[in-house]
């Protein structure tokens, strides 16, 4: 018989350091994710953040939830959860553990659930459950600025994974002959790992989407990332380590005042613009400076306004561009509560995209 155990915010704190966790056959969460989840300003003390599925006394699978909230036009706030990190061990396949984990999440969050950035196998589960429906699709672009074969090809075929060193040498050789094509505009800008009073004030007065993150939440993201640059979580399936990772604010100034700002992450040469405020054109015009500074090889943008501004301004210039798609699914009960015409106006960082 499968037993589902839910760990709330208070119960999860210190979980990765306890004796029980150390004896598990595999890790259901990383130490960095535990710390981040328990510091989430939008997580209530009784919110279940991690569901564990046991077969007798053996861990068989797990399901993570990232609590969030949105504000309706009338000011009412609705608490909901993003589904994340669904896993069932091969040793326990066929016991319908994943559907049981999904039912536990549905009950804990009163159907207020959403999901994005899901794997094909997870998508099949959500569709088969008949709980979820398609909610939105964002058409994005992945821009390539330098050769990045060592990161791209190994995921395509096993033969490339076995020859990763050769691919890295090829990248290094090719990239010595590839300059960054666009220097960007000479705007006054500042890169920071923290939010000072000026940036705090600027964020507070800018128009936000229904999820409407505050400076407090952006500080949480900066202070408690899910990725370590020092060590990887043993026996953990999802991202826990990156050789090179940074999250930072870029603020653009005119007449000593902030006129645009964006929260970015750079992971192993991959740039993402998670959130942006103010003048989109100025944010785009400063991107070449960021690309050069952080030695960015590729950049992924799902935001239509940013991609339109890049196309209009013709910077940053890329060697190659590839279309991308991001799907969002929503629990049908949650969709009914919000109404057919509700628009989240998602920013790229909404969900758990900011952390990985």
- Tell me: cis bond preceding 316? Omega within 30 of 0 counts: yes
Instruction: Write the CA distances from 229 to 9, 85, 241, 243, integer angstroms.
Output: 25, 20, 6, 5
Domain with CATH 3.40.630.30 in the chain: 2-138
Residue spans of the chain under pLDDT 70:
155-156, 160-162, 173-183
130: left (phi over 0), alpha (psi -120 to 50) or beta: left
Q: What pLDDT is stored for residue 111 in this prediction?
A: 98
Record the pTM.
Answer: 0.92
Q: Which CATH superfamily hosts domain 2-138?
A: Gcn5-related N-acetyltransferase (GNAT) (3.40.630.30)
Q: Which two tokens stand for residue 288?
A: 């070449």
Q: What pLDDT is stored for residue 356 in this prediction?
A: 87
pLDDT per residue as tens digits for the range 288-305: 999 999 999 999 999 999
Q: Are strands 48-55 and 298-301 parallel, antiparallel or unpaired?
A: unpaired
Contact 278, 309 (CB under 8 A): no
Q: What pLDDT is stored for residue 239 in this prediction?
A: 94
Contact 253, 268 (CB under 8 A): no
Q: What pLDDT is stored for residue 174 in this prediction?
A: 63
Q: How far apart are CA 274 and CA 276, in angstroms?
A: 7
Q: Which two tokens stand for residue 93?
A: 């396949």
Cα atoms in the Cβ-side hemisphere of radius 13 Å centred on 262:
26
Q: Which two tokens stand for residue 78?
A: 């609705």
Q: What pLDDT is stored for residue 169 in this prediction?
A: 74
Of the candidate CATH numbers 1.50.40, 3.40.630, 3.30.2310, 1.20.950, the domain formed by 140-325 belongs to 3.40.630
The 3-state secondary structure of the chain reads: CEEEEEEEHHHHCCHHHCHHHHHCCCCCCCHHHHHHHHCCCCCCCCCEEEEEEEECCEEEEEEEEEEEEEECCCCCEEEEEEEEEEEECHHHCCCCHHHHHHHHHHHHCCCCEEEECCCHHHHHHHHHHCCEEEEEEEEEEEEECCCCHHHHHHHCCHHHHHCHHHHHHHHHHHHCCCCCCCCCCCCEEEEECCCCHHHHHHHHHCCCCCCCCCHHHHHHHHHCCCCECCCCCCCCCCCCECCCEEEEEEEEEECCEEEEEEEEEEECCEEEEEEEEECHHHHHHHHHHHHHHCCCCEEEECCHHHHHHHHHHCCCCCCEEEEEEEEEEEEHHHHHHHCCCCCCCCCCCCCCHHHC
In the block, residue with structure tokens 């991202």: 239
Q: At what angle do helices 215-223 and 197-205 cross, to 10 degrees?
A: 130
In the block, residue with structure tokens 């966790």: 21
Q: What pLDDT is stored for residue 181 in this prediction?
A: 57
């Amino acid at each position: 018989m499968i037993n589902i155990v839910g760990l709330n915010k208070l119960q999860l704190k210190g979980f990765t350091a306890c004796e029980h966790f150390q004896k598990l056959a595999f890790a259901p969460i990383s130490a960095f994710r535990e710390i981040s989840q328990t510091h989430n300003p939008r997580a209530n003390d009784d919110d279940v953040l991690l569901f564990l599925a046991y077969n007798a006394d053996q861990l068989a699978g797990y399901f993570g939830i990232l609590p969030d909230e949105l504000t309706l036009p009338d000011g009412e706030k609705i608490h909901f959860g993003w589904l994340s990190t669904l896993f069932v061990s091969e040793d326990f396949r066929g016991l319908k553990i994943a559907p049981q984990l999904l039912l536990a999440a549905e009950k804990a969050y009163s159907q207020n659930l959403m999901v994005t950035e899901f794997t094909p196998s997870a998508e099949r589960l959500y569709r088969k459950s008949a709980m979820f429906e398609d909610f939105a699709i964002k058409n994005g672009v992945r821009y390539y600025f330098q050769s990045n074969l060592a990161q791209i090809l190994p995921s395509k075929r096993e033969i490339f994974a076995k020859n990763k060193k050769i691919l890295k040498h090829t990248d290094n050789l090719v990239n010595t002959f590839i300059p960054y094509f666009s220097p960007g505009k000479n705007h006054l800008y500042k890169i920071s790992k923290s939010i000072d009073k000026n940036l705090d004030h600027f964020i507070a007065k800018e128009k936000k989407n229904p999820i409407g993150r505050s400076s407090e939440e952006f500080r949480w993201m900066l202070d408690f990332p899910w990725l370590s640059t020092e060590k990887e979580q043993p026996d953990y399936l999802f991202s826990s380590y990156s050789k090179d990772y940074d999250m930072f604010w870029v603020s653009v100034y005119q007449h000593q005042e902030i006129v645009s700002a964006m929260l970015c992450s750079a992971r192993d040469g991959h740039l993402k613009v998670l959130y942006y405020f103010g003048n989109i054109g100025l944010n785009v015009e400063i991107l070449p400076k960021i690309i050069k500074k952080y030695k960015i090889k590729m950049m992924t943008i799902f935001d239509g306004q940013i991609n339109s501004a890049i196309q209009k301004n013709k910077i940053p210039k890329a060697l190659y561009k590839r279309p991308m798609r991001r799907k969002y699914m929503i629990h049908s009960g949650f969709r009914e509560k919000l109404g057919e015409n509700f628009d989240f106006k998602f920013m790229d960082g909404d969900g758990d995209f900011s952390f990985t």
